[in-house]
Amino acid sequence: MNGAERSQSATPILVVDGIELRFGGIRALDGVNLEVGRGSITALIGPNGAGKTTLFGVIAGFLRPSRGRVVLGGEDVTGLAPPRLFARGLMRTFQIPAVYERMTVLDNLLMVPGPQAGENLLTAVFASRAVNREEKAFRERAERVIAFLDLAPVRDNYAGQLSGGQKKLLELGRVMMTDSKVVLLDEPGAGVNPTLMKKLTDSIRRLNAEWGYTFLIIEHDMDLVAALCDPVIVMAEGKVLAQGPMASVRANDAVREAYLGSRSVAERVVAGP
């Protein structure tokens, strides 16, 4: 893929450049190049083991690549720790929702570090009046988030009592407590029932259009991807295989082969030799 083919996003908010990472003998990431356009809802798809979650780990600072760069908003952020990346506007959710089970829904939202946290913590300590004002605004924001996500009926329930889908919504709620610019979602649709699924996709769409978040989303549900995401980036075996609108990616021979390869393996496993 050359620069012209990627020109759709003139000033990408996120650039992944030649990222390599090994786990022992496995080349989990084998020179990944991709760009995420500012204001886009970009999908990251690919067969199991393609390296998608590992790439999220690298982008969000949880894993250190052996080669390559991650550039966020024009700044090289490779190797920065997650809190530093968070302070620069990058937020990540997990394949398995990371909520505090023994805290209420409201408290889960209030636990999220505010926009001023991290680098300006000291300033905040010396400006307690301003802090009080900010705390009030933060609480009001939490209430708005709860209303937005239809979580009012479970506002004071422990997060551990929520359904899988409600936990996914709560995770999205934690994103909404931040002024993040780029949000990485790892399989937001997994284990979510159809009703909540609609709420989830509507919320992502509105957060993109109205709140200005850029999304990079790993997802296996191709209907969800087709309905929500453009462009779609396809990974296989630690590399980017194709990129473009869903229709063109679906028609791509290399992509079909990558998915077919894994399906034929699955069929052999099910059917026997």
Ligand X SMILES: Nc1ncnc2c1ncn2[C@@H]1O[C@H](COP(=O)(O)OP(=O)(O)O)[C@@H](O)[C@H]1O
CA distances from 143 to 104, 170, 206, 224 (A): 13, 12, 17, 28
> Which CB sits closer to ligand X, 51 or 89?
51
> Which CB sits closer to ligand X, 26 or 96?
26
In the region spanning residues 37 to 66, those forming contacts with Mg ion, defined by CB under 5 A, are 53
Q: Does 203 bind ligand X (CB under 6 A)?
A: no
φ, ψ for residue 186 (rounded to 5)? -100, 105
Which residue of 31, 49, 73, 115 would you call a contact of ligand X, by CB under 6 A?
49
> Which CB sits closer to Mg ion, 8 or 53?
53
> Which CB sits closer to ligand X, 54 or 214?
54
Q: Are 67 and 159 in contact (CB under 8 A)?
A: no
Report, in Å, the least distance between residue 217 CB and Mg ion.
Answer: 12
**Which listed option, ligand X, Mg ion, none, makes contact with residue 167 (CB within 5 to 8 Å by class)?**
none
Report, in Å, the least distance between residue 53 CB and Mg ion.
Answer: 3
According to DSSP, residue 154 is labeled: G
Q: Does 247 bind ligand X (CB under 6 A)?
A: no
Cα 158 from Cα 141, distance rounded (Å): 20
CA distances from 209 to 53, 97, 203, 204, 270 (A): 26, 24, 10, 9, 43
**Which listed option, ligand X, Mg ion, none, makes contact with residue 28 (CB within 5 to 8 Å by class)?**
ligand X
Which candidate, 202, 235, 206, 203, places its Cα nearest to that of 218? 235
Report, in Å, the least distance between residue 149 CB and Mg ion.
Answer: 24
> Which CB sits closer to Mg ion, 53 or 116?
53
Stretch that binds ligand X, among 6-14, 48-56, 174-182, 250-258 (CB under 6 A): 48-56
**Which listed option, Mg ion, ligand X, none, makes contact with residue 157 (CB within 5 to 8 Å by class)?**
none
> Which CB sits closer to Mg ion, 35 or 219?
219
CA triple 114-118-122, angle to 5 deg = 100
φ, ψ for residue 30 (rounded to 5)? -125, 55
* Per-residue contact flags (x/-) with ligand X for residues 18 to 47, judged by CB under 6 A: -----x--x-x-----------------x-
Contact partners, residue 149, CB within 8 Å, separation at least 6: 169, 170, 172, 173, 176, 199, 203
Interface contacts to ligand X, rule CB under 6 A: 23, 26, 28, 46, 48-54
